Amino acid sequence: MASSWWEIQILCDPVLEDLVFWRLEVFGCRGTSSEIKGHSCLIKAYLPQMQAQLLDLAALSLLLRQDALCAELPIPAMQWHLIEEEDWSSSWKDHWQPQEVGDRLLINPAWLPNPEASDRKILRLDPGVAFGTGAHATTQLCLESLEMRLGEPGSAVIADIGCGSGILSIGALLLGAKQIYAVDNDPLAVMSTESNRELNQIEPHRLVAVEGSIERLPELTSEPLDGILCNILAEVIIDLIPQMEAIVKPTTWGIFSGILLDQVKPVADTLEQSGWIVATLWRRKDWCCLNVRRS
């Protein structure tokens, strides 16, 4: 028997799009899509019915209202209703098309044929109920940072903390990484990463995905890591940074995103206190990606 999901629809000013996506991620939504409607942006998000009550949805609507008032922008219109699992699993796919990221990658939905005339590396993706389609600014910033870090096939061994759909892990392998250890607290995300690994015909030993967080990494590899990917939320990154000491070496680099512009300072301060240097800060709209290295 199919389970029920909340479909949340938010019509907002395009300037608010990234902030709305962030609110929805924090709220626990498993899939999101957006499209332009006239001069507004229509965002749809999906959440298992058991994870939210009507009062929770009303509280989310209030937070979005407050965000808009603080930004002096029109208040978003939010509505929600219940749908069956079969309905949501296909409805959001209608609005997701192939997308070029950086100079070398093309993210292609798994249900569409690969483009015939493209010299880019094709990353086939079916996010399922995991976060990460490549549409969000933070994911694009991370992939572009990986493109800068990685060249031809090399020896880089990387950890992807909070792997979601596995998009960053697979992107890193396509761009030249040798091996990825991916961890996520959500078992559905681990399943999604493994499914997308098979979809891209990547050998299981090159992309190892397990449930958990940073504490699982020493169990998976006996050697320090060459790089760390972390596209989560600023508060979580701050908590993880001190724990990274056990898995790094003097040449380890990191790519940290999911950070709003006004959250950069506490993240950068924590990095500096833990022996890291922020080499570059890349920004897209209100989101930032920190490219860091050991001091």
What's the pLDDT score for residue 1?
39
What's the pLDDT score for residue 169?
97
Reported confidence tier of residue 186, pLDDT bands at 50, 70, 90:
confident
Residue 102 corresponds to which amino acid? G
What's the pLDDT score for residue 229?
98
What's the pLDDT score for residue 200?
96
Condensed to tens digits (0 to 9), the pLDDT of residues 62-117 reads 999 999 998 889 999 999 998 876 655 566 566 677 888 999 999 998 888 888 88
What's the pLDDT score for residue 242?
95
- Measure Cα distances from 249 to 238, 245, 293 in Å: 19, 8, 10
What's the pLDDT score for residue 87?
56
What's the pLDDT score for residue 291?
97
Regarding whether 59 and 153 lie in a shared domain, the answer is no
Regarding whether 162 and 32 lie in a shared domain, the answer is no
Regarding whether 147 and 64 lie in a shared domain, the answer is no
**Looking at 31, 58, 93, which one is the last position of a domain?**
93
The residue with greater pLDDT, 96 or 1, is 96
What's the pLDDT score for residue 32?
82
Judged by average pLDDT, the poorest of 26-35, 116-125, 181-190 is 26-35
What's the pLDDT score for residue 33?
81
Regarding whether 89 and 105 lie in a shared domain, the answer is no
Regarding whether 144 and 16 lie in a shared domain, the answer is no
What average pLDDT is seen over the chain? Answer: 89
Condensed to tens digits (0 to 9), the pLDDT of residues 131-150 reads 566 677 888 999 999 999 99
Reported confidence tier of residue 293, pLDDT bands at 50, 70, 90:
very high
Regarding whether 246 and 173 lie in a shared domain, the answer is yes
Regarding whether 64 and 111 lie in a shared domain, the answer is no
**Looking at 93, 123, 156, which one is the last position of a domain?**
93
CATH of the domain at 23: 3.30.70.260
Regarding whether 148 and 33 lie in a shared domain, the answer is no
Condensed to tens digits (0 to 9), the pLDDT of residues 154-166 reads 789 999 999 988 9
pTM of structure: 0.73
Q: List the domain range (segments joined by +) for residue 138.
A: 97-294
**DSSP annotation string for the chain:** -PPEEEEEEEEE-GGGHHHHHHHHHHHT-SEEEEEEETTEEEEEEEEEGGG--HHHHHHHHHHHHHHHHHTT-PPPEEEEEEEEHHHHHHHGGGG---EEETTTEEEEETTSPPPSS--SEEEEE--TTSS--S-SHHHHHHHHHHHHH--SS---EEEEES-TTSHHHHHHHHTT-SEEEEEES-HHHHHHHHHHHHHTT--TTTEEEEES-GGGHHHH-SS--SEEEEES-HHHHHHHGGGGGGG--TT-EEEEEEEEGGGHHHHHHHHHHTTEEEEEEEEETTEEEEEEEE-
Regarding whether 68 and 26 lie in a shared domain, the answer is yes
Regarding whether 80 and 104 lie in a shared domain, the answer is no
Regarding whether 259 and 125 lie in a shared domain, the answer is yes
Regarding whether 244 and 144 lie in a shared domain, the answer is yes
**Looking at 58, 93, 128, which one is the last position of a domain?**
93
CATH of the domain at 197: 3.40.50.150
Q: Say which residue the tokens 């512009």 belong to.
A: 261
Judged by average pLDDT, the poorest of 11-25, 122-136, 239-253 is 122-136
Q: How many domains does the chain have?
A: 2
Reported confidence tier of residue 29, pLDDT bands at 50, 70, 90:
confident
